[in-house]
């Protein structure tokens, strides 16, 4: 939707302040409730007809600083809304503002400033602290009421599907989502995304304090939080190099606090030899290989341990290239994370191991196998836990001069073409967001964030303002500029998802949900309009759960867009 807006900066005394009756806030005026960066494009979405020019008013004194004409009405099929675009990009002055739309109402307040995403980033990062297993947790000092006692402290029992008997220490790690399970496949993309965010944006993140137990240590806080889960992943590797699928109770507990979940944690495998599987082991090898790069300058011994574990994992994958975990063993009802194709996971592992070590076998594996994915990156395919080939491609393209120039050129060309396609989709969408009509599935908000990541990574290969703006547009959707005029991140913005399918939020006595959680978002399941299929209800696990892989994508996006 192209909207040529007439924009006029108002004279200082041009408009009366607070004249007439106070205007009520309206859900028809949708903004990013956190705000906008000074130099970026700034759009709001209006879903009711205005009777005059839209005014941008300053919160502190009510002064109107800008008047714009809303764009023409357009039908947005995904939401069923009639939308008008409000372009107030001309406003660059830092401050707190709101929109006033005659005949409709006011927007939520929002800020313009360079530092506006610092708090959302902090909350999103600390949401991982809140997912920690096997230790007492507190979100003090900013959220002192949000705490729980140590959970799941008993040694885990080998389930019959694991091929072993007895117990194993698989303590630690992050609870996966609204449940308390721990799954290697989903830990893979989550931990990998976080480590990538650090690696790409280190100057911004290195000195950031998160007030976690490790703060003040030799490892930067962002990496220390991530190490909490990588340490757990290392415990899931068997002596033969293979990695078990998950460590969960047999079934999901009710809505109880973590410490009250007394069912035994089980180490769960495929049920027949070799019991470990290829997707989990290859994801593990990829992440441990990233860890070997990222932690090296802070802890050489740990980096060496990660690299050795990654290479042992790769050796196992070479010997067992296609062992799939497609369904839960008898008696197990927790998340499946089943995957019928391990070729993308193998490629990711090879690419990360190559980028970390430069060794010929990894380079050769990548060269011989990347061609299966053609084009290497596509505008309509974001990465997710079951589809990690994008990560393989980007990491190869970022591997430096040891990589094959013709392959790097191909990935770069495909990445830019994909990014151009995502940008085009955002520009054509009524809410300026990247999903196609078919992509409102389980966790659609994470697909939005992952498209944002693709735009930022394409921008690494070829910096372009429109990639950055489009990545920010993806974020604006998540933070309130959507059909529900609601921030999908808890305690971020003004009006946020109140009832995430998140057991601590459901079981504690606090009115507000735990902060910094990105909920799954609209999940159409064939129903229309797709963008409206979201319920802010605790029971709605298909639209309102949180998950570490979704929050990891949010962390990356927030890290990447900040100036």
- Give the nearer residue to Zn ion in terms of CB position, either 175 or 378: 175
Instruction: State how far the Cα of 159 lies from the Cα of 167, in Å rounded to an integer.
Output: 9
H or E element, residue 71: none
Contacts of 308 (CB under 8 A, 6+ apart): none
- Give the nearer residue to Zn ion in terms of CB position, either 134 or 513: 134
The answer to whether 383 and 391 have CB atoms below 8 angstroms apart is: yes
Nearest approach, Cβ of 115 to Zn ion (angstroms)? 34
- Give the nearer residue to Zn ion in terms of CB position, either 137 or 306: 137
The encoded tokens of residue 519 equal 């909920």
The answer to whether 469 and 502 have CB atoms below 8 angstroms apart is: no
335 near Zn ion, judged by CB under 5 A:
no
The encoded tokens of residue 184 equal 């290697």
Query: Which one of 108, 175, 476, 501 is the catalytic residue?
Result: 501
- Give the nearer residue to Zn ion in terms of CB position, either 67 or 151: 151
Region near Zn ion per CB under 5 A, out of 143-151, 419-427, 512-520, 540-548: 143-151
| Per-residue binding letters, 396-425, with Zn ion (x by CB under 5 A) | ------------------------------
The encoded tokens of residue 305 equal 């341990």
For residue 374, the tally of other CB atoms under 10 A from its CB is 9
Nearest approach, Cβ of 134 to Zn ion (angstroms)? 6
152 near Zn ion, judged by CB under 5 A:
yes
Nearest approach, Cβ of 152 to Zn ion (angstroms)? 4
Region near Zn ion per CB under 5 A, out of 179-187, 353-361, 384-392, 458-466: 179-187
- Report CA-CA distances (Å) from 421 to 348, 378, 477, 482: 24, 8, 18, 21
Secondary structure of residue 145 in the 3-state scheme: strand
- Give the nearer residue to Zn ion in terms of CB position, either 47 or 186: 186
Give bridge partners of residue 9 from the DSSP assignment: 66
- Does 501 participate in catalysis according to the annotation? yes
151 near Zn ion, judged by CB under 5 A:
yes
Instruction: State how far the Cα of 431 lies from the Cα of 78, in Å rounded to an integer.
Output: 10
| Per-residue binding letters, 249-278, with Zn ion (x by CB under 5 A) | ---------x--------------------
Instruction: State how far the Cα of 90 lies from the Cα of 391, in Å rounded to an integer.
Output: 36
235 near Zn ion, judged by CB under 5 A:
no
The encoded tokens of residue 364 equal 């050769």
**What residue has token string 């970390």?**
356
Region near Zn ion per CB under 5 A, out of 149-157, 321-329, 474-482, 547-555: 149-157
Region near Zn ion per CB under 5 A, out of 130-138, 203-211, 305-313, 549-557: 130-138
The answer to whether 482 and 531 have CB atoms below 8 angstroms apart is: yes
The answer to whether 225 and 555 have CB atoms below 8 angstroms apart is: no
Give bridge partners of residue 67 from the DSSP assignment: 8, 55
CA atoms within 13 A on the CB side of 285: 35
- Give the nearer residue to Zn ion in terms of CB position, either 180 or 484: 180
The encoded tokens of residue 92 equal 């660059």
Count of positions on this chain that bind Zn ion (CB under 5 A): 5
Nearest approach, Cβ of 133 to Zn ion (angstroms)? 3
Give bridge partners of residue 56 from the DSSP assignment: 66, 99
Instruction: State how far the Cα of 86 lies from the Cα of 447, in Å rounded to an integer.
Output: 25
Q: Which residue is nearest to Zn ion (CB)?
A: 133
Binding residue (CB under 5 A) for Zn ion from 29, 133, 286, 478: 133
- Does 96 participate in catalysis according to the annotation? no
Phi/psi class of residue 211: alpha, beta or left (left: φ > 0; alpha: ψ in -120 to 50)? left
Region near Zn ion per CB under 5 A, out of 176-184, 385-393, 428-436, 468-476: 176-184
71 near Zn ion, judged by CB under 5 A:
no
Nearest approach, Cβ of 135 to Zn ion (angstroms)? 9
- Give the nearer residue to Zn ion in terms of CB position, either 206 or 262: 262
| Per-residue binding letters, 79-118, with Zn ion (x by CB under 5 A) | ----------------------------------------
Rg for the chain (alpha carbons), in Å?
A: 24
Query: Which one of 176, 179, 344, 473 is the catalytic residue?
Result: 179
- Give the nearer residue to Zn ion in terms of CB position, either 259 or 359: 259
Residue ranges that bind Zn ion, judged by CB under 5 A = 133, 151-152, 180, 258
> So which residues are the catalytic ones?
179, 501, 536, 545
């Amino acid at each position: 939707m192209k909207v040529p807006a007439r924009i006029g900066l108002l004279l200082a005394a041009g408009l009366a302040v607070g004249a007439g009756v106070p205007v009520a806030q309206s859900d028809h005026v949708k903004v990013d409730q956190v705000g906008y960066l000074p130099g970026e494009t700034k759009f709001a979405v209006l879903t009711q007809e205005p009777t005059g020019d839209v005014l941008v008013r300053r919160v502190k004194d009510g002064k109107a600083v800008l008047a714009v004409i809303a764009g023409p009405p357009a039908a947005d099929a995904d939401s069923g809304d009639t939308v008008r675009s409000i372009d107030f990009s001309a406003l660059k002055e830092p401050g707190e503002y709101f929109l006033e739309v005659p005949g409709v109402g006011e927007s939520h307040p929002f800020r313009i400033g360079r530092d506006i995403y610092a708090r959302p980033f902090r909350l999103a990062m600390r949401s991982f602290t809140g997912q920690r297993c096997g230790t007492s947790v507190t979100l003090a000092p900013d959220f002192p009421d949000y705490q729980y006692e140590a959970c799941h402290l008993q040694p885990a029992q080998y389930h019959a599907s694991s091929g072993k008997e007895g117990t194993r220490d698989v303590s630690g790690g992050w609870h996966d989502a609204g449940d308390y399970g721990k799954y290697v496949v989903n830990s893979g993309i989550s931990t990998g995304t976080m480590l990538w965010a650090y690696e790409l944006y280190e100057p911004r993140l290195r000195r950031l304090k998160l007030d976690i137990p490790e703060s003040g240590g030799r490892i930067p806080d962002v990496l220390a939080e991530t190490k909490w889960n990588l340490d757990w992943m290392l415990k899931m590797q068997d002596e033969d190099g293979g990695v078990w699928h998950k460590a969960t109770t047999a079934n999901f507990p009710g809505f109880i606090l973590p410490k009250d979940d007394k069912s035994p944690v089980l180490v769960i495998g495929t049920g027949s030899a070799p019991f470990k599987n290829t997707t989990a082991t290859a994801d593990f090898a990829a992440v441990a290989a990233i860890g070997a790069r990222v932690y090296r300058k802070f802890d050489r011994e740990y980096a060496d341990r990660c690299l050795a574990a990654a290479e042992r994992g790769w050796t196992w994958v070479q010997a067992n290239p296609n062992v799939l975990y497609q369904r839960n063993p008898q008696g197990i009802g927790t998340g499946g994370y089943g995957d019928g194709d391990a070729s993308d996971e193998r490629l990711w592992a090879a690419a990360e191991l190559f980028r970390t070590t430069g060794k010929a076998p990894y380079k050769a594996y990548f060269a011989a196998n990347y061609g299966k994915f053609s084009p290497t990156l596509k505008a309509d395919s974001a990465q997710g836990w079951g589809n990690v080939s994008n990560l393989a491609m980007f990491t190869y393209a970022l591997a430096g001069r040891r990589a094959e120039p013709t392959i790097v050129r191909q990935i770069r060309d495909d990445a830019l073409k994909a990014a151009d396609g995502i940008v085009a989709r955002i520009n054509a969408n009524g809410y300026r967001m990247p999903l196609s009509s078919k992509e409102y599935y389980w966790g659609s908000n994470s697909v939005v964030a992952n498209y944002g990541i693709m735009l930022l990574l394409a921008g690494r290969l070829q910096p372009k303002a429109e990639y950055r703006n489009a990545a920010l547009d993806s974020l604006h959707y998540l933070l309130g500029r959507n059909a529900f005029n609601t921030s999908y991140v808890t305690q971020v913005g003004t009006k946020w998802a109140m009832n995430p399918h998140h057991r601590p939020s459901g079981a504690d006595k606090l009115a507000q949900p735990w902060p910094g959680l990105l909920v799954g978002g609209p999940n159409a399941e064939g129903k229309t309009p797709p963008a409206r299929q979201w319920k802010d209800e605790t029971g709605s696990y298909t639209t309102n759960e949180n998950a570490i892989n979704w929050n990891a994508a949010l962390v990356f996006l927030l890290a990447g867009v900040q100036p």
